[in-house]
């Protein structure tokens, strides 16, 4: 769309979304870039704030606490079962915002496009972003597009930044886990990472496996309504649950004890992990959260989570303990204990 809905000189040509490609000229700031913005981004993301067409979006804010979070997305392949880089870039940043207990309000998106990238793929990605943003009711209000030469990028990278408003009385932070607290997860672990790995390795198992990529804003809103005194929320993306828990343990200066038999893991994920030599605790999730709360709040919180479609398989998987070494440990199915250490090497590159 053009400003004020009028067609101005030079804006009558349509981009070829069937056979066209991203060209360097689409990043020049000139006519071609304006065409790309008008015919693709403005059309897909259309909302009042974006239609201001300034280099910044202006909106009303309220007094209180706000949060801001940013995530660059470089996942490969760009399209995968259960999503694509577009929906992932919306879900990922919304989830980072809501892990503070906040209601997400606005998103910004920066695109780095590689010369030669098919416009048809870009359109599919942008429309998927738009759909994800619309479903979460978090509009994309401002953005930027850059183009780099063929060989200097990899199709498309998307950096999304989100802001949100924290309700009064909610104080969730990764340094608030206390000995005795219960550790919950909202569902099965490792689905995203394994779905991507199977695609990369061209493997398939009997059971179809999809990324769990999803926006957790609604689940979190229900959780903080039930348990305003939630201590910690964290989405276990890169590095999986093990990494997220080690970070929380370090920040809260506590240890953790997990129970292997309580971990919700889909059978095909377990099978794929065995086959690929991966530990599902270290595999990325994109639509799951870890919650840590007082022991007396845990059952009610779990019951609330079970009523939500994105947390049907939620479970209490462990508890916070005193430990000045800040170790995350696990009681195995056979009654032994092992340390669930920080990930030392590279497990799954470019998983998000």
Site for its own copies in 47-86 (CB under 8 A): 52-74
Angle between helices 217-226 and 298-306 (to 10 degrees): 140
Give DSSP secondary structure letters for 96-157: HHHTTTPEEEEEEEEEEEETT-BHHHHHHHHHHHHHHHHHHT--EEEEEEEEE-TTSS-SEE
CA dihedral 201, 206, 207, 213 (to 10 degrees): 0
- Residue 60's contacts (CB-CB under 8 Å, 6 or more residues apart) are none
Site for its own copies in 189-228 (CB under 8 A): none
Contact between 39 and its own copies per CB under 8 A: no
SS3 label, residue 26:
helix
Kindly indicate which of the ranges 123-131, 210-218, 236-244, 295-303 contains the residues binding its own copies, using the contact rule CB under 8 A: 236-244
Contact between 4 and its own copies per CB under 8 A: yes
Contact between 277 and its own copies per CB under 8 A: no
Contact between 152 and its own copies per CB under 8 A: yes
Kindly indicate which of the ranges 123-131, 167-175, 181-189, 212-220 contains the residues binding its own copies, using the contact rule CB under 8 A: 167-175
Site for its own copies in 238-257 (CB under 8 A): 238-240, 243, 247, 250-251, 253
Q: 51 or 262: whose CB is closer to its own copies? A: 51
Site for its own copies in 299-318 (CB under 8 A): none
> Shortest distance, CB of residue 205 to its own copies, whole angstroms?
25
Contact between 175 and its own copies per CB under 8 A: yes
Q: 109 or 258: whose CB is closer to its own copies? A: 109
Q: 24 or 271: whose CB is closer to its own copies? A: 24
Contact between 237 and its own copies per CB under 8 A: yes
Kindly indicate which of the ranges 14-22, 157-165, 223-231, 310-318 contains the residues binding its own copies, using the contact rule CB under 8 A: 157-165
As a whole number of angstroms, the distance between CA 60 and CA 63 comes to 10
As a whole number of angstroms, the distance between CA 210 and CA 191 comes to 7
311: number of CA atoms within 13 Å, CB side?
A: 27
Contact between 337 and its own copies per CB under 8 A: no
> Shortest distance, CB of residue 42 to its own copies, whole angstroms?
13
Contact between 45 and its own copies per CB under 8 A: no
Kindly indicate which of the ranges 21-29, 119-127, 268-276, 288-296 contains the residues binding its own copies, using the contact rule CB under 8 A: 21-29
Among 44, 97, 281, 314, binds its own copies (CB under 8 A): 97
Check: CB of residue 318 under 8 Å from CB of residue 256: yes
Contact between 7 and its own copies per CB under 8 A: no
Pick from 173, 184, 175: nearest CA to 297: 184
Contact between 137 and its own copies per CB under 8 A: no
Q: 74 or 209: whose CB is closer to its own copies? A: 74
Rg (CA), the chain: 22
Size of the site for its own copies (CB under 8 A): 98
Contact between 116 and its own copies per CB under 8 A: no
E strand or H helix at 316, and its extent?
strand 315-321
CA distances from 189 to 110, 202, 288 (A): 30, 21, 8
Kindly indicate which of the ranges 126-134, 136-144, 206-214, 218-226 contains the residues binding its own copies, using the contact rule CB under 8 A: 136-144
Check: CB of residue 177 under 8 Å from CB of residue 252: yes
As a whole number of angstroms, the distance between CA 219 and CA 297 comes to 16
């Amino acid at each position: 769309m053009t400003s004020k809905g009028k067609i101005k000189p030079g804006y009558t040509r349509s981009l070829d979304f069937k056979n066209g490609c991203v060209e360097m000229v689409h990043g020049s700031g000139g006519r071609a870039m304006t065409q790309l913005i008008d015919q693709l981004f403005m059309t897909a993301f259309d909302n009042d704030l974006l239609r201001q067409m300034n280099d910044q979006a202006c909106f009303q804010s309220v007094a209180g606490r706000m949060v801001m979070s940013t995530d660059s997305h470089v996942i490969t392949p760009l399209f995968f079962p259960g999503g694509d880089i577009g929906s992932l870039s919306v879900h990922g940043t919304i989830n980072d915002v809501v892990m503070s207990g906040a209601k997400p309000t606005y998103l910004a998106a920066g695109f780095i496009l590689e010369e030669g990238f098919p416009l048809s793929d870009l359109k599919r990605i942008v429309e998927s972003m738009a759909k994800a943003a619309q479903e979460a009711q978090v509009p994309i209000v401002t953005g930027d597009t850059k183009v780099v030469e063929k060989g200097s990028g990899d199709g498309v990278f998307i950096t999304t930044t989100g802001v949100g408003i924290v309700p009064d009385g909610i104080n969730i932070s990764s340094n608030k886990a206390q000995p005795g607290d219960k550790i919950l997860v909202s569902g099965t672990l490792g689905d995203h990472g394994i779905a991507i790995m199977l695609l990369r390795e061209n493997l398939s198992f009997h059971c179809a496996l999809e990324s769990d990529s999803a926006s957790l804003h609604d689940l979190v809103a229900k959780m903080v309504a039930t348990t305003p005194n939630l201590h910690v929320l964290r989405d276990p993306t890169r590095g999986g649950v093990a990494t997220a828990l080690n970070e929380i343990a370090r920040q809260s200066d506590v240890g953790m004890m997990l129970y292997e038999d309580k971990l919700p893991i889909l059978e095909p994920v377990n099978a794929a992990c065995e086959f690929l030599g991966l530990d599902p605790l270290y595999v990325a999730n994109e639509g799951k959260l870890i919650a840590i709360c007082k022991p007396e709040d845990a059952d009610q919180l779990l019951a609330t989570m079970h009523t939500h479609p994105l947390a049907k398989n939620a479970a209490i998987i462990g508890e916070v303990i005193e430990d000045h070494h800040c170790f995350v440990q696990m009681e195995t199915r056979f009654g032994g204990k092992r340390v669930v250490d920080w990930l030392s090497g590279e497990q799954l590159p470019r998983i998000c």
